[in-house]
Structure formats: C-alpha cells, structure tokens
Amino acid sequence: MMQEDETRNPADDGEPPPFLGTWNRLYAAVIIYTSVLILALYIMTVTLNH
Amino acid sequence: MHALDWIVVVLYFAYVVTEGFRHGRKNRDIDDYFRGKRSLRWWAVGLSVMATQASAITYIGTTGQAYTAGMSFIQVYLPLPFAMIVLCMSFVPFFYRANVFTAYEYLERRFDAKTRSLTSFIFLISRGLAVSFVLYAPSIILSVIFGWNEIATIVIMGASTILYTTIGGNRAVIMIDAKQMLLMFAGIFVAMALFIYRFPADYSIADAVHLAGTQGRLNAINPSLDLTDSYTLLSGLLGGFFLALSYFGCDQSQVQRYLTGRSLTESRLSLILTAFLKIPMQFLILGLGILMFVSFHFIKPPLTFSTAYQQVLQQKGGERYEALEQRYDAAFEQRRQAALDLKDARRSGNRAALASAEERYRRAGEDFQQLKAENSELLKSVLGSEPSSEVNYIFPGFLLQYAPTGILGIMLSVIFAAAMSSFSSEINSLASASVIDFYKRYFVKTANDAHYLWISRGATLFWGVFATVMALFAGRQGSLIEAVNRVGSFFYGPILGVFLLAFLVRRCTGTGAFCALIAGEIAVFAVAYYSSISWLYYNVVGVAVVLAAGIISTRAVGRFKVGRP
C-alpha cells in the first residue's frame, strides 16, 4: 500500500526555491544555461579544432 | 618525495579521520547514521553529490584521456543538468515524501518485496564491483609512479576511509565530502598553474589553444551519428541522459546524499547546484589534460609514463630500445621546434606561412606518435602481453617530475580526497542497502537502536574491507574512467526502467516489474556480447526493454483478469 503523501503530485511542492521565485523558472534557467554551454562547446569545436 | 610533501599528506589524513570521530559522537540510531537525521544544508549535500561522482579516476583518467584523445569525453556530461531537472520534479519528491532510507525501499511500497530485493541486490553487486576501482586507481598508479608499495598504498587509503566512515556515518561522509570537493576545485587551478608555468616565456594561452586545436584535441562536440563511436553528441545526450538519470536517481550512493537534506527544497537545491557546476568542472579537468599535452611539447615526456615499464624496457629492450630512444630525442626536438614555429606563424598573421607551419607541425606530431607506437609494440613483445594503457600514468607522472615541494603534497592530497570521498559514500550506501533492504527486512525486523547502529557500523566495515581486498585484485584495465562507467552501464538502465515503471505505469504489478527487470538485464548483456554499439547505449537499451516488458506484461495481466469469469 502506498502512503497517503506518496500519491500527491511530486511536482506540486508549496515551498518556492530561494532563487528566481518558482521552481519552473529555476529549471528554465538550468536549461538555458546548459544550452548555452553546449552551443559554446560546439562553436569552440568548429572554430578552434582543425 | 620531500619531507614537506609527506607532512602535507599526513596532515590531510589526520584531519579527515579526526572529523569522522567528531561527527561520530552524534550518532544515536540508524536515522542519524544513514540520513544525518535529515538535517543537512543543500550546499553541503550538493558538494557531496559532486564529490561522490568525482573520484580519483576523474582526475587521473580524464586528464590522461584529454591528453591522448582530446575533449570528446565531455559529451557524456552534457545532459546531466537535464537529468537533474527530471530528478527534482519526480524522483526526489517521491523518495523524500516516502521517508525511505534506500531508493529500493520505495519499490516494495510500490510493487513488492521481491522487486525491491532484486533491485537492491543488483545495486550491491554492481556497486560492490565498481567500488574497488575507486581505490585501485590512485593506489596502483601512485605506487607505480612514486615507487610506493602497492599493497600498503591500498591498505592505508582504504583503512583511513573505513575508519572515518564506520565511526562517523553519513553525516561525517557528507561534511568531509564537501571539504574534499572544495580541495579538488582548488587542486584544478593549482595544476593549471603548474602546466602554464612550464610553457616557454613568450608562449601564451592563445598559442596553447591554437596548438591543441591543430592536433584535434579541442574536439568537444562530435556530431557523428555512428552508433559504434563511444563519444558523440548523440551517444552523450541520449546515453548520458539515461546514465545520469539512473546514477543520480536509482543508485543508493547518490540517493543517500540527497535524502539527508533538511527539507525537500534543500534536497532539490543540492542537485541544482550539481547541474550548474558539473559541466564547467569536467571542462576544467579535461582542460588540464590539454594543458598537459601542450606542456609536453616543451618538456620532454618519457617514452612510457609508467616507471615500471621504463625499467622493463631498459633491462630487456636491448639495442632496439636504445635506438628508439635516440630517434625519440630527435623527434621531440623536431616537434618542439615545429610548435614554436607554429606560434610565430600564428602571430605573423600570414595565412600561407600559418598553413605551412601547421602542416610541418602535424607531420612532426605524427612522427612523434609513430615512435610512441613503436615503443608500445616493443613493450608488448618484451612483456609477452598487452601492456596496460598509459593514459592513467600521465598526470601523476607529471606531478612527480615537475610539481614543486609542498605543491606535490597538496596535489597528492587532492587525488586522495577525490578517491576517499567516493569510497566513503559508496561503502556507506552499500551498508545502508545491506542493513535496510536485507538485514532489517528479512532477518531482524525489530531490535533497539543500538543494535541496528552497531550492525550498520559492522556492515560499513565489511564493505570497506571487501572493497579494499578487491582493489588488490582489480586487474589491468584501459582507461579507468571508462571502465567504471562501462561496468555501471550493464545495470543502470534496467534499474532506472523499474523506477520509471513505478512512477509512470500505475497499473504495473510487482511481478510484471520483476520480470521486466530480468528481461532488461538479459537484453543489455546480449547487446554487449553480440553487438559493437557504444557502451553508453546500454543504458538506453536497458530502460527501453524494461519499460516495454513492464507495459506489455501489465496489459497482458489486465486482459487475463478481464477475461476471467
């Protein structure tokens, strides 16, 4: 049997993160940051590796 | 090694053991011992998560890999932040709210005891095998480079870590991990300064970057779609995503870190910290390998980095080895001059001169590599078997020869810190899975706190000793960083598949999940044996087969039940 609190939507957490106000904004920041890093690595490969 | 270096290393060991005893006094029950009473701050947990993943293999193997093959290994880490987001949204809240000690405990509540036990057993086997590499890497390599006794090196490292982990429990492990991680960060910058210091006076970072690029070492992104190529953007994003999801979401050595968070928010933040820092950290470590590669254009690297192999060649290589050494000296000088010419050509801005200098440098580099290859062939014929890869000897070999007094002690402490932070977390997690998922579940279900606390300490001691003994027989491997990930990839995918079934397929039964896990393991071993695809894809295969088998078995059982009178 599952305990009652395990059936809650795991993404639904009332406490916001201390940065950027909401969890979704923090996750978006991580995605943008990582995408920029990948793009930078790609540019480095294309321009500097020969 | 100078006495000052020994003093630095001894002080490091004394500090971590003392810290273990200090934290150990706070342990009253297994909630203290395994979860630190869920009272730890996000930054400490986050640094511990990183320290657990970054072993000495990361330093020694990754720098060596960048030296020989460039930066392509970074692609494995690119999807890690995305996996962290998925974990923060699903796995972490499920585990935290379920108030579990182990990830596998959750599976019994969701499915049944046999699924929990099998998954935990697979973790014990896979992690139990891999943990020996964590000790083996620095111990064997440092003993070869520094001439230390192999067994003594392994035993001293193992015993110190076992001592502070057994006494201090997970709270001690995390707090010491956090400090060890900061030491590792500092070590990266110290090593960078060491390499740059070895450049000629008028040689800049820009010159070094250009030289590394000319040799194809700045190959961070490989867009190839070849499934047999280990390090491509596709294998990195796809295989690396499932590898990270499984390692951080289903491996008790990591789950146990963030279960100690003071709140769900603190646990999530610890993974977000890792998401922000991991790729830059790997980039810097691979960058060390690149800087080392450039440095060895101006200080002559040995024909082979292993001092043991050098002795073998000197004793048994004969005239062939002497001739090879003479040609090697000339080839090194030719490559050094070509590298300096390349710098001058780049600065002149003359395209024709630059193209000509690049061509001369490439030819000199090929000649140099050809001699290294001939040396490997000679070594193979002298040994009568394939020599172990020199990838793992390059970084410590450089430190021994060129690190100043005192700095060598610090860098050795960094390597020890990297190994011990992973080793401590892993034996602590092996103990928690053994005690919570087996001993307390099947053998002694009710006993007082003191009993379970002593059993937990005994289990930590057992796994520590087991891993230390296994490290003595870890054997010959190629790149150590790859070997560890390769072993893990046989098990990570299927285990992740079971957790995804638990979270995503509501009607999946315990028996369905259990059979799906077995099917997933069979599929991964079959693919590894019969195909030549990169090991990174094993994770994808494992997840896919377990999910498919779980969904099919759930539907089949559902139809069977509907069809029954």
User: Which residue type occupies B358?
Assistant: E
B270-273 contacts, C-beta under 8 A, 24 or more apart: B270/B42, B270/B43, B270/B45, B270/B46, B270/B48, B270/B49, B271/B46, B271/B49, B271/B84, B271/B87, B271/B88, B271/B92, B272/A17, B272/A26, B272/A30, B272/B46, B272/B84, B272/B88, B273/B42, B273/B43, B273/B46, B273/B47, B273/B49, B273/B50
- Residue B474 pLDDT: 63
Min Cα separation A7/chain B (Å): 9
- Residue B254 pLDDT: 94
Give the contacts of B112 (CB within 8 A, at least 6 positions apart).
Answer: B510, B511, B514
Q: Check residue B532 and report its DSSP letter.
A: -
User: Which mean pLDDT values do the consecutive 10-residue runs of chain B (565 residues) have?
Assistant: 90 92 88 92 95 84 86 93 95 92 92 92 87 80 75 89 94 93 92 90 92 91 82 86 90 94 94 96 94 91 81 83 89 93 90 91 90 87 77 81 88 89 93 96 91 95 92 60 66 91 87 91 90 83 92 74 45
Does B510 reach chain A within 8 Å, measured CB to CB?
A: no
Min Cα separation A46/chain B (Å): 8
Q: For A6, which of B94, B210, B214 is closest by C-beta distance?
A: B94
Min Cα separation B254/chain A (Å): 19
ipTM given for this complex: 0.85
- Residue B255 pLDDT: 95
Task: Report CB contact under 8 Å: B214, A13.
Answer: no
- Residue B563 pLDDT: 43
Task: Suggest the residue from A31, A34, A42, A50 to mutate for an interface test with chain B (most B CBs closer than 10 A).
Answer: A34
Say if residue B349 is exposed, middle or buried (CB neighbours under 10 Å; 0-12, 13-18, 19+). Answer: exposed
Task: Report CB contact under 8 Å: B209, A48.
Answer: yes
Does A4 reach chain B within 8 Å, measured CB to CB?
A: no
SS3 state of residue B40: strand
- Residue B483 pLDDT: 62
Q: Check residue B246 and report its DSSP letter.
A: H
Q: HSE of B68 in the Cβ direction (CA atoms, 13 Å)?
A: 18
Partners of residue A30 in chain B, C-beta under 8 Å: 81-82, 84-85, 272, 275-276
Cβ-Cβ pairs closer than 8 A, A with B, add up to 94
- B546 contacts B517 by C-beta, under 8 angstroms: yes
Q: Which positions 249-278 of B are in contact with A (Cβ < 8 Å)?
A: 263-265, 268-269, 272, 275-276
- Residue B105 pLDDT: 94
Number of H helices and E strands in chain A, helices first, is: 1, 0
Q: Phi and psi at residue B40, in whole multiples of 5°? A: -90, 150
What string of H, E and C letters represents the secondary structure of B291-339?
A: HHHHHCCCCCCCCCCCHHHHHHHHHHCHHHHHHHHHHHHHHHHHHHHHH
Q: How far is CA B226 from CA A18, A46, B80, B132, B238, in A?
A: 43, 19, 22, 32, 13
pLDDT digits (tens, 9 = 90+) for B111-144: 889 999 999 999 998 888 788 888 887 886 777 6
